[in-house]
């Protein structure tokens, strides 16, 4: 197990505003951890280098241990992963990048690629709103079919509950369940109501473990890629915590898995984690 060592924040030195940097500042103050500012840029200029110095000065003036640079290593994602490992960072923060459906078909979008290949949690920032006194939604598969997803559910809730604790926010659980036509040959799934009950029963231990109120557990029939964005809007979530599991098939590479489909349908900050036993819960990191 590994503690939070350093935060890597991805910025664009060609822009006047970088919302990912603001989020990194807040988390650095909460955790008292250093920050590495990375600007993937194959063609740095005097203007962009000056912008980087301004960013470094901003964090230094607030007492944050920070360093950073403009760099390029065979592509944006390759540069991020290279410096994440080189600098020993255990959290990557990046502004979410919207992509068109045409782009999705032709090539794998940048954020999707980062989620697939990053070995550390990735926070994709959609807005600059405060997380304080908000709502954190943990998206889980309440009836997983494999041990990897069971581990992933625990990791998701650990992060969601910890962030809710430090931001004085409500922690919610959301899980979509299939209808009877999607439940396969499972003899237990005799009806949609039966399936709903099974998912509720699976969520109860998670809710109890992390002291989440019954009314903050949301289970509905339908595809997760439709339900989770809808639920985020319904409860006005300030942060969504969800998991990603790597896939390699051509179909998945073209269309994206459930997590990737959610990315294109949401305007909430998203923290994406993986079922890796090296990931230390933020609840412990922030003590």
Q: What is the pLDDT of residues 206-265, one digit of tens each?
A: 999 999 999 999 999 988 889 999 999 999 999 999 987 654 443 334 334 677 778 878
Total domains present in the chain: 2
Residues 50 and 146 both lie in one domain: no
Q: What is the pTM of this model?
A: 0.85
- Is-contact 113 92, C-beta < 8 A? no
Residues 190 and 87 both lie in one domain: no
Exposed, middle or buried: residue 74 (CB in 10 Å: 0-12, 13-18, 19+)? exposed
Which residue among 92, 125, 158 closes a domain? Answer: 125
pLDDT, residue 108, reads 59
pLDDT, residue 8, reads 98
Residues 145 and 268 both lie in one domain: yes
Which residue among 69, 96, 125 closes a domain? Answer: 125
Which residue among 98, 125, 152 closes a domain? Answer: 125
CATH code for the domain of 179:
3.40.50.12370
The residue among 119, 161, 65 whose CA lies nearest residue 153 is: 161
Residues 211 and 253 both lie in one domain: yes
pLDDT, residue 278, reads 38
Supply the angle between the helices 46-61 and 19-31 in degrees, to the nearest 10. Answer: 30
pLDDT per residue over 98-149, tens digit each? 665 544 444 457 888 898 889 899 999 999 889 999 999 999 988 766 666 7
Residues 242 and 107 both lie in one domain: no
Q: Minimum mean pLDDT among 24-38, 104-118, 126-140, 270-284: which range? A: 270-284
Residues 241 and 260 both lie in one domain: yes
Residue position matching structure tokens 């540069």: 79
Residues 172 and 265 both lie in one domain: yes
Question: What's the CA dihedral at 200, 206, 210, 214 to 10 degrees?
Answer: 0
Three-state DSSP state, 265: coil
* 218 assigned to some structural domain: yes
Residues 142 and 273 both lie in one domain: yes
- Containing domain of residue 280, as a range? 135-285
Residues 104 and 148 both lie in one domain: no
**Does residue 23 carry a pLDDT above 90?**
yes
CB atoms inside a 10 Å sphere around CB 228: 28
């Amino acid at each position: 197990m590994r503690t939070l060592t350093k935060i890597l924040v991805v910025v664009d030195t060609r822009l006047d505003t970088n919302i990912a940097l603001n989020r990194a500042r807040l988390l650095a103050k909460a955790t008292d951890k250093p920050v590495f500012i990375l600007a993937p840029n194959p063609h740095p200029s005097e203007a962009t280098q000056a912008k980087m110095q301004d960013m470094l000065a901003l964090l230094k003036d607030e007492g944050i241990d920070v360093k950073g640079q403009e760099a390029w290593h065979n592509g944006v994602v390759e540069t991020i992963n290279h410096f994440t490992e080189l600098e020993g960072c255990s959290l990557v923060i990046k502004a979410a990048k919207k992509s068109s459906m045409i782009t999705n078909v032709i090539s794998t979008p940048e954020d999707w690629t980062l989620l697939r290949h990053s070995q550390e949690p990735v926070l994709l920032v959609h807005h600059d709103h405060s997380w304080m006194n908000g709502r954190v939604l943990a998206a889980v598969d309440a009836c997983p079919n494999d041990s990897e997803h069971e581990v992933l559910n625990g990791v998701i809730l650990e992060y969601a509950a910890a962030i809710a604790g430090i931001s004085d926010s409500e922690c919610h659980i959301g899980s979509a369940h299939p209808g009877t036509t999607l439940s396969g040959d499972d003899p237990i799934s005799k009806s949609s109501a039966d399936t709903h009950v099974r998912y509720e029963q699976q969520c109860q231990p998670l809710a109890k473990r992390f002291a989440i109120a019954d009314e903050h557990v949301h289970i509905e029939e339908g595809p997760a890629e439709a339900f989770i964005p809808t639920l985020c809007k319904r409860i006005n979530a300030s942060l969504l915590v969800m998991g990603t599991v790597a896939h390699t098939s051509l179909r998945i590479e073209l269309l994206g898995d459930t997590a990737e489909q959610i990315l294109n349908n949401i305007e909430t900050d998203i923290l994406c984690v993986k079922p890796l036993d090296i990931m230390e819960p933020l609840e412990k990191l922030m003590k």
